[in-house]
Chains A and B, each alone.
Chain A
Amino acid sequence: MPLLEVRNLKAYYLTSRGPVKAVDNVSFDLERGESLGLAGESGCGKSTLGFALINLLPPPGKIVDGSIKIDGIEVVGKPDEELRREVRWKKISMIFQGAMNALNPVLTIGDQLSEPLIYHQGVSKEEATERVKEHLELVGLDPDIYKRYPHELSGGMKQRAVIAMALLEHPDVIIADEPTTALDVIVQAQILNLLKSLKKKLNLSIIFISHDLAVISEIADRLAIMYAGEIVEIGPSENLYLNPRHPYTQKLLGAIPRLKKKVERLEFIPGAPPNLIHPPSGCRFHPRCPYRFEPCDKEEPPFIEVEPGHYVRCHLFAKR
């Protein structure tokens, strides 16, 4: 049984102008110790999916349908009180985008990290301090950071502290939402190294959300590409990077400038992602797709397994 099992998940923002279908009919599995990269452009729903998994959708967001099973526990529809007691932070936790800049400037790192342990877990102050120091060391920080204030730390150190915070209650799954976006390349590489070593050391499952396919390639065992609220392609990283099937994935990979490979002219995808209140009929990518043909604007394409573990949502691969 997979550690995380997501089936037909729908998370909408219920606005006055109609529901914004930010996550629509998303299904995937995640094994223990596995990392899944979640890539897509801004507004494709990847962050919303992250929030939905940990059941912390900002209002007016709401999970309207589907199921999320973490370690066999169904979390959709579970009262918030129970979620907090049994699941959130304990089974699954999240590194929020920009969290390193959201640290409270008037509390020391130690106070911020131990507070939830003391107030939510009823851990004694000494034990909490001990645990926090342990985790600071785990993410490669000097335990003396405990007494420091956020402004005394560099960006990379703050991001490490935020990672330590997400690990405090020993979760099985960790969702990292753009954890390296605001960082410089060298620090980014250091953080990626840290996540890789934590994954190995703690047998951690990671959902790594990013718009940057190059960064994801450094860490993801499997890759999911999202477009307009749907997963359009998912499969082992090697297959996706080297042999992408969905036209969107192909175009996206073609648009990445490479440092070590000279490219004469980069490709791009004309147009812009659609409005998620009224997504296009049929395949949501069809208005921008160079290969569209007769069924694309009418029927929603099925999710097709093109090779073991590699699924594509595209009419080109439908058997007919």
Chain B
Amino acid sequence: MAEVVVKVENLKKYFPLRRSVVEFLKGAPPRSVKAVDDVSFEIHKGEVFALAGESGCGKTTTGRLIVKLLEPTSGKIYFNGTDITTLSREEEREYRKKVQIIFQDPYGSLNPRFRVYNVLEEPLILQGIGDTRSEREELIIRALESVRMVPPEEFLGRFPHQLSGGQRQRVAIARALILNPEFIVADEPVSMLDLSIRAEILNLMEDVKKRFGLTYLYITHDLSTARYFSDRIAIMYLGKIVELADSDTLVENPLHPYTKALIAAVPEPEPSMKDVIKEIPIKGEVPSAANVPPGCRFHPRCPYRFEPCDKEEPPFIEVEPGHWVACHLYSKR
């Protein structure tokens, strides 16, 4: 088995909710949004691991926990075997060099007052790389070349609003690459881009991965790009992973009722569906993460629910090698 780069163990992140004065006086217990609730997985070296799910499922929070933009409520995150939840200042600095994040919004992730040069210089200054301006400029030009912004000199002086969406996202990728990281969290990197550019950015990410030996955590709501881009996919629902398998298996042979519904709902660019009312096996929408149902959290929407579902949490079991699912339908009993 390949080397494990990132290992997440029983990771939890609860955001406390403010109690109203009345609740406070009545002595109601403090409530919280369970954004990530007991999540465990491993990411292997050189793979693209996708976390997919609907909005509010906790996939983005998980990504932020891994890059230490948030502190977990409990649980462990290991990077190359080291627990990163208890790092000294110096170790944290070192960690931030190796782990990078690419954000969803290429408009919001670049400071509008920074020129491309400043955007790419920032990580170098923060990590104390390159002593002179010319040394840093050299690195910046190389980073721009690696994301195919050529000739790089033409872009150095531009402001973000003078770039197209695709170019902006490429600058964001260059910013992540300039520190020579080992692992990149890509949080919906293409969801705000136009279709014709989406493939370009995904292909670019694929290329730099091969070139620099990177490992990705790909966070997305879009199963189609997840299948195209990633090796394994984990489906999250209300803060938990409900199914995990390699991409092809997960799409072609989904086990969890929620995964099945998601896959059924994804539209294909084929006109055969236009007069058909599509069968969607599940009804309703995702409940609030402040109000998680007991037992299996999917049970209120599940068409196959039976007796244990609303009482016991289903265990996460390996149904076939590498294919995990959290559903009572597959528990041995």
The yes or no answer to A106 lying at the interface (CB within 8 A) is: no
Contact yes or no, A213 B274, CB < 8 A: no
Extra A-B contacts (17), CB below 8 Å, given A217-B274, A241-B269, A268-B198: A35-B274, A42-B194, A185-B223, A185-B266, A186-B280, A188-B267, A193-B280, A196-B275, A196-B277, A218-B273, A237-B274, A257-B199, A258-B224, A258-B269, A262-B248, A272-B164, A272-B197
The yes or no answer to A154 lying at the interface (CB within 8 A) is: yes
Q: Across the interface, which residues of A come within 8 angstroms of B194, CB to CB?
A: 41-42, 211
Given contacts A217-B267, A257-B227, A265-B203, contact A193 B195 (CB under 8 A): no
Contact yes or no, A241 B270, CB < 8 A: yes
Q: Across the interface, which residues of A come within 8 angstroms of B222, CB to CB?
A: 257
Contact yes or no, A251 B196, CB < 8 A: yes
Contact yes or no, B271 A259, CB < 8 A: no
Q: In chain A, residues 253-303, which have Cβ atoms closer than 8 Å to a Cβ of chain B? A: 253, 255-263, 265-270, 272
Q: In chain A, residues 219-278, which have Cβ atoms closer than 8 Å to a Cβ of chain B? A: 219-221, 237-238, 240-242, 251-253, 255-263, 265-270, 272
**How far apart are the CA atoms of A213 and B261 in the complex, in Å?**
21
The yes or no answer to A155 lying at the interface (CB within 8 A) is: yes
- In the complex, how many residue pairs between chain A and chain B have their CB atoms under 8 Å apart? 139
The yes or no answer to B265 lying at the interface (CB within 8 A) is: yes
Interface residues on B, range: 35 or more
Contact yes or no, B221 A255, CB < 8 A: no
Per-residue 0/1 for B217-233: is the Cβ within 8 Å of any A Cβ (1 yes, 0 no)? 00001111101110000
Given contacts A211-B194, A268-B196, A268-B200, contact A184 B271 (CB under 8 A): no
Per-residue 0/1 for B160-175: is the Cβ within 8 Å of any A Cβ (1 yes, 0 no)? 0000111100000000
The yes or no answer to A121 lying at the interface (CB within 8 A) is: no
**How far apart are the CA atoms of A260 and B264 in the complex, in Å?**
10
The yes or no answer to A215 lying at the interface (CB within 8 A) is: yes
Contact yes or no, A186 B199, CB < 8 A: no
Look across to chain A and name the residue whose beta carbon is closest to the beta carbon of B301.
A186
**How far apart are the CA atoms of A115 and B142 in the complex, in Å?**
60
Residues of A within 8 A of B (CB): 35, 41-42, 154-157, 184-190, 192-193, 196-197, 211-215, 217-221, 237-238, 240-242, 251-253, 255-263, 265-270, 272
Contact yes or no, A187 B227, CB < 8 A: no
Contact yes or no, B196 A252, CB < 8 A: yes
Residues of B within 8 A of A (CB): 54-55, 164-167, 194-200, 202-203, 221-225, 227-229, 248, 251, 261-271, 273-275, 277-278, 280, 282, 285-286
Contact yes or no, A190 B270, CB < 8 A: no
Q: Across the interface, which residues of B come within 8 angstroms of A266, CB to CB?
A: 199, 202-203, 228
Look across to chain B and name the residue whose beta carbon is closest to the beta carbon of A190.
B280
Query: Could you write out 23 A-B pairs with CB less than 8 Å apart?
Result: A41-B196, A184-B54, A184-B55, A186-B262, A189-B267, A193-B280, A211-B195, A217-B269, A217-B271, A218-B273, A220-B274, A251-B196, A255-B199, A256-B269, A257-B198, A257-B199, A258-B227, A258-B269, A259-B268, A262-B227, A265-B203, A268-B196, A268-B198
Q: Across the interface, which residues of A come within 8 angstroms of B199, CB to CB?
A: 255, 257, 266-268
Among B200, B266, B267, B282, max chain A CB count under 10 A is at: B267
Contact yes or no, B228 A263, CB < 8 A: yes
Contact yes or no, A185 B195, CB < 8 A: no
A155, A214, A219: the one within 8 Å of B285 (CB):
A155
Look across to chain A and name the residue whose beta carbon is closest to the beta carbon of B190.
A257
Look across to chain A and name the residue whose beta carbon is closest to the beta carbon of B206.
A265
Contact yes or no, A259 B251, CB < 8 A: yes
**How far apart are the CA atoms of A291 and B273 in the complex, in Å?**
32
Contact yes or no, A189 B265, CB < 8 A: yes
Given contacts A211-B195, A266-B199, A272-B166, contact A260 B271 (CB under 8 A): no
**How far apart are the CA atoms of A192 and B227 in the complex, in Å?**
23
Contact yes or no, A255 B248, CB < 8 A: no
**How far apart are the CA atoms of A243 and B55 in the complex, in Å?**
35
Q: How far is the CB of A188 from the nearest CB of chain B, in Å?
A: 7
**How far apart are the CA atoms of A246 and B194 in the complex, in Å?**
18
A42, A185, A197, A220: the one within 8 Å of B277 (CB):
A197
